Structure 1
Amino acid sequence: MFVIRERFFSIGDDFDVLDEHGTKVFHVDGKVLSVRNKVVIEDASGHEVATLHRHLVALRPTYEIRIGGEKAAEVRKKLLTPFRDKFTIDVPGPNDLEMKGDLLDHEYVIERDGTEVAAVSKRWLTIRDTYAVQVTAGVDPLLIIGSVLALDLALDRDKKKGDED
């Protein structure tokens, strides 16, 4: 299990990803001044291991995850899904994932071919902007963490758009 926790009192969207023992596994450095909402994921020693950025020209919110410099997935929000969020996690090859969840409860599952490979929960944690992420063995945790960050960025964009209306 991983816990993605936003750092309080930090400049920008910086998150730490902790394991089940509370040890920092990754640091997520959000480049909030970046037009593309770029996020850099570093390992515990500060080396970049993955990036996430938003595509500027896309019909729906689309984020690209790169792991080790290689494109690992595109995360796209599906259109017209009232009261539920649905995202496609398009990976190279035939093994795409789908992330779906409840807007109000902040509970999400990530599935491959109808089988759950990860669960994301924000509801049971009392700390603001904190997610618990359970990843099935054999699934790249960086892919799942990147997808959760894409979800968070997309929901934040939607919230900001709603505030402007």
Structure 2
Amino acid sequence: MRLLVHDRLLGIGDDYWIEDEHGRKVFLVDGKAMRLRDTFQLKDAHGRVLIDIHQKMFALRDTMVIERDGEGLATIKRKRLSLLRNHYRVSLVDGTELDVSGKILDQEFAVEYDGELLAVISRRRLTLRDTYGVDIVREDADPALLIAVAVCVIHLAQKERADD
């Protein structure tokens, strides 16, 4: 499954659609402005909230939290002892861990579980300006979760760059 994200709008308070390869709107990322912490909602094409994303308050390192139906689903933060600056760890509540690595700010990275590729985020093969693709490799993967992971790691990397 390929999804297209138009990242020129990526920012707090901005809303942007994620489309499938046929141009149909699949997800809406709804940025919530004027909040104490960075907050997003991932909605389906009918406006139903699928996932809530917010910055964890009072964390030693910048951390994003993903929730579904008010229940914690995952936390995302930069991997602590990584030589690569763009390496993030996604800890799901069931104990599963996903690795995200690559050139996050260039939207060229991969999401893996136990060495198996789940999704590739890339702008290389696209001719559309300010757009990157999310290619979900495994058919049983949760597209909403993988989009939420991409939104989080890009946001964390941009925030880290701004803080430097």
Fold-level similarity (TM above 0.5): yes
Partner-residue secondary structure (3-state), 1:89: strand
Q: How does 1:120-139 map to 2 (within 5 A)?
A: 120-125=121-126, 126-128=128-130, 130-135=131-136, 136-139=138-141
Aligned to 2:112: 111
> What's the CA shift string for 1:96-141, capped at 9, x where partnerless?
111111257531111111111111113444523x331111210111
Partner-residue secondary structure (3-state), 1:148: helix
Aligned to 1:38: 39
Partner-residue secondary structure (3-state), 2:86: strand
| Moved beyond 6 Å, runs of 4+ | none
> Identity rate of aligned residues, in percent?
32
Check 1:103–1:147 CA distance in 2 against 1; reply closer, same or farther (3 A cut). closer
TM-score normalised per structure 1 = 0.85
Partner-residue secondary structure (3-state), 1:74: strand
Aligned to 2:156: 154
Q: How does 1:7-156 map to 2 (within 5 A)?
A: 12-79=13-80, 81-103=82-104, 105-125=106-126, 126-128=128-130, 130-135=131-136, 136-156=138-158
Check 1:104–1:88 CA distance in 2 against 1; reply closer, same or farther (3 A cut). closer
User: Displacement of 1:161 after TM fit?
Assistant: 1.6
RMSD of equivalent CA atoms: 2.2
Higher RCO structure (Cα 8 Å, ≥6 apart) = 2
Give the gaps of 5 or more residues in structure 1. none
Aligned to 1:4: 5
Of stretches 104-113 and 10-19 in structure 1, the one that deviates more from structure 2 is 10-19
Which one-letter code corresponds to 2:121 in the other structure? V
User: Displacement of 1:67 after TM fit?
Assistant: 2.0
Partner-residue secondary structure (3-state), 1:36: coil
User: Displacement of 1:89 after TM fit?
Assistant: 0.8
Distance in 2 (CA, whole Å) between partners of 1:106 and 1:83 is: 15
Give the gaps of 5 or more residues in structure 2. none
Q: Is the 8 A contact 2:107 2:122 kept in 1?
A: yes
User: Displacement of 1:33 after TM fit?
Assistant: 2.1
- Give the number of aligned pairs: 160
Check 1:158–1:113 CA distance in 2 against 1; reply closer, same or farther (3 A cut). same
